[in-house]
Amino acid sequence: MASARRKTHLGDIRIKPDDKTVRVVEEVRPCHAKGCKAEGTHRVTLSREALSDYIWLCLAHARAHNEAWDFFAGMSDKEIERFQVEAVVGHRPTWPLGKRAARARVQIESRFEDLRNEPAPEPRRAQRRLTGLQLTALATLNLEDSASLHEIKARYKELVKRFHPDANGGDRGAEERLKQVIKAYSVLRAAGMT
């Protein structure tokens, strides 16, 4: 049968070992600072002109480098301001708008001028589409289809006070009518009409 194979990992690559033992040798990157024997674990940029050029430093030297490094060192105030303005568009070139855009702007401005001179239109009440259940609920409250929010609430309060058992001496007929009014109001409230 097949013999069991032993595999060793070298980084992310699987290899079949030879008869010899495979040793994994990791390359230790030294700190770039003079006289430092620590491992260079942090990448730092050297200058703003060459942001892709970097060196490796240990944590202590990387901190010292970052505290002392000034990106805008040697730039005048105008150069710094220009850099900030260009940063808005990611330092990509931009071009002025052409004559076509200027003509379109004039047309839009003239249209706005026309709109300013027109009288304001009369506000219209929005038309609602009502379901059969909502129409029945409005009929139960003795309201028209176009009843406003204020009218619905006022009619509900009025009918609840009129048909409440305390106001009618415990009359069962008035109690049944009260249930109908409460149910109709809950239908209208669920539909967002109140």
pLDDT for res 156: 92
Domains and CATH numbers, the chain: 26-87 (no CATH), 132-190 (1.10.287.110)
pLDDT for res 1: 43
Query: pLDDT tens-digit profile of 159-186?
Result: 888 888 888 777 777 888 889 999 999 9
- Which regions in the chain score pLDDT beneath 50? 1-6, 8-9
Bridge partners (DSSP) listed for residue 17: none
CA distance 156 to 183: 11
Q: Report DSSP state, residue 44.
A: E
